[in-house]
Amino acid sequence: MKRTVALVALFISACGSPTDGPLTTVDSCPVARPDFGVAAAAERDLFAYDVNAPLNLQQAIESTLNGVQVSGISFDSPGGGRVTGVLFDPVTRSSPRPGIVLMHGAPGNARQMTNQAQALAQLGAVVIAIDAPFARRSGTWVRFSTQDAAEQIQLIKDLQRAVDVLRARANVDDERIAYLGISYGGAMGTLFAGIERRIKAAALVVADGGLVSHFTSSDDSNGNLADLSCATRDDWLQAMTPIEPIRFIAHAPPTALLLQSGRLDDLVPAADAQALHAAAPQPKTILWYEAGHGLNQQANFDRMDWLHEKIGLDPRQ
């Protein structure tokens, strides 16, 4: 932790005024990326929660389509309040099924993952998609305050509770649970895979190393940090850098990793994707596509084939 704080301190410089012309304040704080390193045990402990606390799961069936029952769900969050989301259950299947925790992008919510979840459930998986904490409140998804760190920690705890929900279901095979995250969900999956020991596989789609990586990218189209005051930027970086997802990916084994990236992605530059790929340990599969941030149909096929191999998702026809 001391090393991380020291690195973050490198972001700070004095704000001064020019010697010529009208008296104005110039923000001279550099926007640069720290050397993240690998998360220590104390940082991993930030995501611990009471596994014996009741879920208080509530479920309301909404529809059934092609043998998949869709339900709105909610359960208690270790961070307070209720986690909301959607459950997709292939109710016509009699044998134990694989389970998948599905995470949306930013800004976004669980309902935006319906098509992806429905397709996976039709291939036999019980799928749970949850809303990130920012999707359960009003306002912008990232606030550049310490609240962002609190919500990121809460999200990882909520995702662990989503695994608890799957494991509590009689039709889910506890040994065949995977995670699938797209964009922001992929970045958060980079952290989740380093914390959650009960998932067999994690698909990280168009992911970068996390929010600090994203907003210190060499592609300045991502950045808002330069618009912040020195003090605000320093507070945010000190809160977020210790929990940057790329710092946790080294702890993923034995979870198998799939990393899918687009060479034409205008939101995740190739260099940022490559930095994550390099930090990811074996066993890992890295796939590139001549596509943008949404990738393409081949990426969907490759992902389903990989999940078939890793957790026994039905083969696509």
Instruction: Check residue 28 and give its pLDDT.
Output: 60
Of residues 18 and 113, the one with the higher pLDDT is 113
pLDDT of 89:
98
**Residue in this structure with the two tokens 């994203």, named with its chain if needed:** 214
> Does 49 fall in a domain?
yes
Structure tokens at 61: 């069936």
- Please determine, for residue 126, whether its predicted confidence score (pLDDT) is greater than 70: yes
pLDDT single digits (tens) 182-201: 999 999 999 999 999 999 99
The verdict on residue 317 lying in a domain is no
| Residue-level pLDDT at 223 | 57
| pLDDT for the residue 26 | 44
- This prediction has a pTM of 0.89
Count of helices and strands (H, E) across the chain? 9, 9
> Which of 75-89, 172-186, 187-201, 230-244 shows the lowest per-residue confidence on average (mean pLDDT)?
230-244
Using the predicted structure, report yes or no on whether residue 1 has a pLDDT greater than 80.
no
DSSP, residue by residue, 140-180:
-S--SSHHHHHHHHHHHHHHHHHHHHHHTSTTEEEEEEEEE
Average pLDDT, the chain: 90
pLDDT at 111 over 60: yes
- Return the closest-CA partner of residue 208 out of 135, 140, 152, 261: 261
User: What range defines the domain where residue 111 resides?
Assistant: 2-311
Kindly state whether residue 79 falls inside one of the protein's structural domains.
Answer: yes
Q: Is the pLDDT of residue 42 over 60?
A: yes
Residue 316 lies in a domain: no
Number of domains in the chain: 1
Whether 13 maps to a domain, the answer reads: yes
pLDDT of the residue at 67: 96
pLDDT per position as a tens digit, 246-299? 999 999 999 999 999 999 999 999 999 999 999 999 999 999 999 999 999 999
Q: Provide the pLDDT confidence category of residue 2 given band limits of 50, 70 and 90.
A: very low
Q: How many residues does the chain have?
A: 317
With respect to residue 299, please indicate whether it lies within any of the assigned structural domains: yes
Q: Answer yes or no: is 56 within a domain.
A: yes
pLDDT band, very low/low/confident/very high, at 220 (cuts 50, 70, 90): low
Q: State residue 7's pLDDT score.
A: 35
pLDDT at 33: 81
CATH of the domain at 44: 3.40.50.1820
Instruction: Tell whether 129 is covered by a domain.
Output: yes
Please state, in angstroms and rounded to a whole number, the distance separating the CA atoms of residues 302 and 261: 12
Percent above pLDDT 90 for the chain = 82
